[in-house]
Structure 1
Amino acid sequence: MDFDSGLVLSIPIAIFTLRWFRRFMSTETRLPQWDNLLKRGWLLFIVFFVIGKLFSVKEGVIEDWYLFFVFGGIVAALVQMRDYRPARTLLLAVVPVMLCFLLSLLIESIAPSLMERFEDLVGSSWVFTIIWLGTFTIYARNQQKSIETERLKREAELAKTQLIVGHNAELERLVEARTAELNGQKEELEQALTNLQAAQNRLIQSEKMASLGELTAGIAHEIQNPLNFVNNFAEVSVELVDELKEELERPELDTDYIKELADNLIQSQQKIHHHGRRADAIVKAMLQHSRSSTDERHSIDVNALCDEYLRLSYHGLRAKDKEFNAELLTQFDPTVGRITAAGQEIGRVMLNLFNNAFYSVSEKKKQQPATGTYMPLVQVFTKRLDGQVEIRVRDNGLGIPQAVIDKIYQPFFTTKPTGEGTGLGLSLSYDIITQGHGGTLAVNTVEQEFAEFIITLPASDRISVS
């Protein structure tokens, strides 16, 4: 019996089918142990070839059983991959083919005549199974494409998620680094602020000490005047007593002259008493100021306060510069009366404005030629307005440049040379007037002509007209 033609035809069909199945189901990765067996499917051909030669099997039966076992191996592999949806669909496609194979082989082996009788039915069954196989194979292929699409989508989403996670991790790292940098900058700024506040406190203290020094110099000069009178009249009193003694020792007394000496002595003692009381009043006034709290409000006489600090400032500058002279002009409105305010704070403001005014006219005088006709002038005006008290301090000095007019109330800003001003006087004065007393502090100036500072303080029902 010749088996060559049938087996030779069966071998390519089997090898093609196995190769297609292995690639379709990716058995190399999904089922590697079965993949090795399917790759060696050609060995089964040798077995059947030998069996056919030894037992002289009828032609056509060997190739049918060979293909049956090939499809059986495919079914076995599909059973192993039943968790995979396309494998289950392909298994459903192959089972009818296997049943048709098995039924045909059994009928042909047991009752060949019956096979010839129902040849058309068997042929139709084969056509149906082939169509079934093709349909479900296509369906399995579509399932496989859908699963592959889903897999690629999941991989893309996973890659995107990983990218986002990586990006978030990088952002978190950058945020942590930036946070650490900002914390470092914050600590540096806090330290710088602490140092700045300490420096500011030192400058404020220096400004207060400078103001205290100027105030002390003015007070000393004020006290010096009555003390000079006391000393002078005391010397005159001693001379009058000596003359009186000499006259009393003469044999003939001139009673008229003695009375004249006595009258002069009385006048001298009265002068000593008057100027002594004046010095005592100055000391008591300063003691009263020293007992006043900077935040304590009390009734103050605006005109008297302005006049007092004007003289203190002027004499303080005179104590430092004996050659300095200035004309002082005051116009006090008697209806201004008294207001409730922190007298020591308002006095500090007035002293600062007067000091600036005298400094400005002094510097302008120094710039004038020796033969110049310039005469320093500082003016103070008070006026009662509707619900307010106005104080104007005007000088005919250097004025303020327009370029810096907006900076004069800034802390530490000064137009004076280094060492002659801290730049806190006007800043503190502005705070005292505006924040401490609810008033205003404005300036009107023309460079090289004049500067005028205008203070307004609330009066309303707190004024008591004297």
Structure 2
Amino acid sequence: MDLQIFIAFFIILRLRKKFKTKTAFPQWEKILLGLMFVCIALFTVQASFNFLKPLSGWIANGVVAVVLGIIYLNDEFSSERPTMFAVLPLILVSFVEDVFKLISISFYNKIHYFFEAASFFAFIWMIALLIINNKQRKALIKEQSKTHEEEQKNKFMASMKAQLEIQVAERTAELTSQKETLEEALTELKTTQAQLIQSEKLASLGELTAGIAHEIQNPLNFINNFSEVNTELIEEMKEAIAKGDSEEVLAIAADIAANEQKINHHGKRADSIVKGMLQHSRNSNGIKEPTDINKLADEYLRLAYHGLRAKDKSFNAAMKTDFDRYIPPINVIPQDIGRVILNLITNAFYAASQPSALPDNTVAANHKTPTVWVTTALIPPTEDEGTLVSLTVRDNGPGIPANIMDKIFQPFFTTKPTGQGTGLGLSMSYDIITKGHGGQLTVHTSEGTGTEFTILLPA
């Protein structure tokens, strides 16, 4: 009987320990507390009054039945059902043993060994199940703890995600604002760049104007002179016709025809110069056309020279050319290539007119004649490249310092005094040759000796 009371007391303690903090089940708190007092009373009765042991035993069975019923019928105690199944065999054996004692004590004494064996195996069953249940409970608690940690982690991650989303939204708004600001700045920069490029074109056109005026004056002088001669020859022809001198008339007619050819030649020359100026001044249409590179280089060389002479009467320089007459017309954009050639030649004249900066400056070095060389050549094809056409512009100026060599093709970089250059000439020239024509623009310089720019274009 003591075992049944102990089992009931043990189960009640487990239930109270589990649910004493559960404010949602106050009714079970009172019931379990009452059953605990009943178990304590039964312990006291059995210890003090032997004659009451049978009665207290059946009361203990009733208490156990009530406790097991509470566990079985109420879902809030479902976690203790494994404990119920662990002690149930031992309780059943004890209950059957009490029944046999009540029916016939003599018969019970004959078979009590069976009950002792059954109680032993039931006890082993209870211990085994309690151990297993305890392990399962620990595993469940561990799993619940892990699940709780994961839930906390998920909540934390969700909180961090929400914060990150807010930060991303703020950063996106900031980046959008910066993007709009940059787009506005880029638009302004493109407008400014277009204005500077147009300014560079107008500056080069201004340099050409004086040279063109000088160049066009020569053919105009020839045209005027031959026109005056033809006027005199016509008067002589009239006199010869009046005299009937046919031979004299034919001779004068031949002279007039020859003069007309010369007038036509120089007229075409003047027309060519004017067309070249118009071609240089208008915007490029981006269409490549067969172009005589030698003729283009020769025209811009003389126009650049006379343009500089018009701006500075004291300027003087020698011009030397070596054109390869076997170069066929090549497909280029004449306006763009003309601007490149003009820019390189103008820079060469400017550099050649500068004093030498060598440490051992000599009188001969300071009084050297500024000279610009313009040469062209047809380069045979190789395994890596097809036929190329090279155009070289060289001067005998002071050269380019090594510390600025990597900057000369950068936009807005110039070594000229303020107001004499925009710093866009070489940058535009590099883009025209490399990007617009698939060619190369290289530079070789030696301080105190001069600089050489070489253009390579596909033939």
Give TM-score, length-normalised by structure 1: 0.72
Alignment map for 1:113-124 (pairs within 5 Å): 114-122=104-112, 124=114
Task: Give the 3 Å change call, closer, same or farther, for CA 419–131 of structure 1 in structure 2.
Answer: farther
Residue 38 in structure 1 maps to residue 29 in structure 2: no
CA distance in 2 between partners of 1:403 and 1:155 (Å): 70
Q: Percent identity?
A: 38
Deviation at 1:219, TM superposition (A): 1.9
Greater mean alpha carbon deviation, residues 353-362 or residues 181-190? 181-190
CA distance in 2 between partners of 1:348 and 1:46 (Å): 115
Deviations 1:53-100 (A, max 9, x none): xxx995432322332233233222332357736524524633552564
Match of 1:335?
326
SS across alignment from 1:452: strand
Deviation at 1:329, TM superposition (A): 1.6
Task: Give the 3 Å change call, closer, same or farther, for CA 356–449 of structure 1 in structure 2.
Answer: same
Deviation at 1:447, TM superposition (A): 1.8
Contact 1:27 1:35 in 2 (8 A): no
Task: Give the 3 Å change call, closer, same or farther, for CA 13–320 of structure 1 in structure 2.
Answer: same
CA distance in 1 between partners of 2:311 and 2:450 (Å): 24
In the alignment, residue 346 of structure 1 is paired with which amino acid?
Answer: I
SS across alignment from 2:397: coil
Deviation at 1:354, TM superposition (A): 0.8
SS across alignment from 1:389: strand
Match of 1:177?
167
Match of 2:399?
399
Contact 2:409 2:430 in 1 (8 A): yes
Residue 429 in structure 1 maps to residue 429 in structure 2: yes
Task: Give the 3 Å change call, closer, same or farther, for CA 212–117 of structure 1 in structure 2.
Answer: same
CA distance in 2 between partners of 1:219 and 1:34 (Å): 115
Task: Give the 3 Å change call, closer, same or farther, for CA 86–43 of structure 1 in structure 2.
Answer: closer
Match of 1:73?
66
SS across alignment from 1:60: helix
Contact 1:309 1:347 in 2 (8 A): yes
Contact 2:398 2:450 in 1 (8 A): yes
2:312 aligns with one of 317, 321, 333: 321
Deviations 1:187-244 (A, max 9, x none): 454444434333332322222222222222322343456678999x89x99xxx9xxx
Match of 2:445?
445
CA distance in 1 between partners of 2:100 and 2:107 (Å): 15
In the alignment, residue 449 of structure 1 is paired with which amino acid?
Answer: T
Match of 2:298?
307
Residue 90 in structure 1 maps to residue 80 in structure 2: no
Deviation at 1:390, TM superposition (A): 2.1
Contact 2:200 2:422 in 1 (8 A): yes
Match of 1:248?
none
Residue 283 in structure 1 maps to residue 283 in structure 2: no
Deviation at 1:356, TM superposition (A): 0.7
SS across alignment from 2:286: coil
Residue 143 in structure 1 maps to residue 133 in structure 2: yes
SS across alignment from 1:420: coil
Deviation at 1:388, TM superposition (A): 2.7
Task: Give the 3 Å change call, closer, same or farther, for CA 59–440 of structure 1 in structure 2.
Answer: closer
Task: Give the 3 Å change call, closer, same or farther, for CA 299–67 of structure 1 in structure 2.
Answer: closer
Contact 2:93 2:115 in 1 (8 A): no
Deviations 1:5-45 (A, max 9, x none): xxxx96x984x545422343445258753342232236547
Deviation at 1:115, TM superposition (A): 0.7
SS across alignment from 2:426: helix
CA distance in 2 between partners of 1:297 and 1:413 (Å): 29
In the alignment, residue 157 of structure 2 is paired with which amino acid?
Answer: H
Task: Give the 3 Å change call, closer, same or farther, for CA 416–163 of structure 1 in structure 2.
Answer: farther
Contact 1:396 1:449 in 2 (8 A): yes
Contact 2:396 2:451 in 1 (8 A): yes
In the alignment, residue 287 of structure 2 is paired with which amino acid?
Answer: E
Match of 2:369?
375
Deviation at 1:47, TM superposition (A): 8.9
CA distance in 2 between partners of 1:32 and 1:95 (Å): 31
Task: Give the 3 Å change call, closer, same or farther, for CA 276–197 of structure 1 in structure 2.
Answer: same
In the alignment, residue 133 of structure 2 is paired with which amino acid?
Answer: Q
Task: Give the 3 Å change call, closer, same or farther, for CA 47–165 of structure 1 in structure 2.
Answer: closer
CA distance in 2 between partners of 1:171 and 1:42 (Å): 52
SS across alignment from 1:84: helix
CA distance in 2 between partners of 1:412 and 1:288 (Å): 25
**Count of paired positions:** 409
In the alignment, residue 341 of structure 1 is paired with which amino acid?
Answer: V
Match of 2:191?
198
In the alignment, residue 301 of structure 1 is paired with which amino acid?
Answer: D
Contact 1:377 1:396 in 2 (8 A): yes
Residue 354 in structure 1 maps to residue 345 in structure 2: yes
CA distance in 2 between partners of 1:391 and 1:430 (Å): 14
Contact 2:339 2:429 in 1 (8 A): yes
CA distance in 1 between partners of 2:299 and 2:82 (Å): 112
In the alignment, residue 159 of structure 1 is paired with which amino acid?
Answer: E
In the alignment, residue 429 of structure 2 is paired with which amino acid?
Answer: S
1:214 aligns with one of 187, 196, 207: 207
Higher Cα Rg: structure 1 or 2? 1
Deviation at 1:105, TM superposition (A): 5.1
SS across alignment from 2:392: strand
Match of 1:295?
286
Deviations 1:303-331 (A, max 9, x none): 22111101111121122222111111222
Match of 2:335?
344
Deviation at 1:291, TM superposition (A): 7.4
In the alignment, residue 426 of structure 1 is paired with which amino acid?
Answer: L
Give TM-score, length-normalised by structure 2: 0.73
